[in-house]
Amino acid sequence: QVVRNSPSRIKRLDAEKAALGRILQRSFDVDDSTYLVMDVLPGEPVYKSLWRHQRGFPEAFAKQCAAQVVVALLDLHGRGFMHRDVKTGNVLLDPATGRCHLIDFGFAKSLVRDDRTLDGRAMSFVGTYYAMAPEVYRCSHQQHDNYYTVAVDWWALGVFVFELLHGSPPWPYKCEDGDLVRYAATLEQPLEFPSHSHFANPHVRDLLSYELSSIESSNS
């Protein structure tokens, strides 16, 4: 893919280069061009597979998929980055093997300052509305001293797991600003679970209740 004359896309490419350069170490510049060398990954975005499983994946398969994303996030955070856009559209699934790959690092944020010390905070309003942690939203709509941490990736993971099991996220894919205000205002209320069997497991309910409530409070 060739990117020309698009400042916003070039900015995202620079962010992706910074993250992938630290993870894969296969990116380079030649004159005024940047090249990213990446593996060819078989499969399709998880959301496309979910369309064919209208009520979500079986619990065992969802667990396998989520575990691989957890490993990817732990590695990414350990290398000094937060992803900031974890969702079913940014995880590739190979149905033949069950392997999952976290992709699209265009919103990735380095947590390392220029002096090589760890900051761990971000303030930009980026991501995908339905998977966005409330503190990301507050950075855009309240005081300028608000910030968020890598915990926003774990919030998004909770939304991701919910979607794996249910076939759709706990909130609509298309959200408006007013919806996010309402979601943030109801964080202290218990998460409503669908009635079908994937959510009968108390461990699943405990995990998602923690991911979608307690993690947000850790940023306050």
pLDDT band at 74 (very low <50, low <70, confident <90, very high): very high
Element (H, E) at 59: helix 59-78
Which one from 29, 39, 85, 119 is the annotated catalytic residue?
85
Tell me the percentage of the chain whose pLDDT exceeds 70: 63
Model pLDDT for residues 60-69, shown as the tens digit of each residue: 999 999 999 9
Place of tokens 């209740």: 209
State mean pLDDT over 45-53.
90
> Is 85 one of the catalytic residues?
yes
Tell me the percentage of the chain whose pLDDT exceeds 90: 26
| pLDDT score at 171 | 77
One DSSP character per residue, 148-196 reads B-THHHHHHHHHHHHHHHHSS-SS-SS--HHHHHHHHHTTTSPPPPPSS
Residue 110 has pLDDT above 50, yes or no: yes
Model pLDDT for residues 86-108, shown as the tens digit of each residue: 999 999 999 889 999 999 888 88
Asked if 80 and 22 count as a contact pair (C-beta separation under 8 A), the reply is yes
| Bridge partner residues of 94 (DSSP) | 99
Model pLDDT for residues 9-20, shown as the tens digit of each residue: 666 666 666 666
Reference 40, options 92, 83, 89; nearest CA is 92
Residue 28 has pLDDT above 70, yes or no: no
What the chain holds in terms of domains, given with CATH numbers, is: 1-38 (no CATH), 41-217 (1.10.510.10)
| pLDDT score at 47 | 93
pTM of the model: 0.79
| Bridge partner residues of 36 (DSSP) | 27
Distance between CA atoms of residues 82 and 155, nearest Å: 12
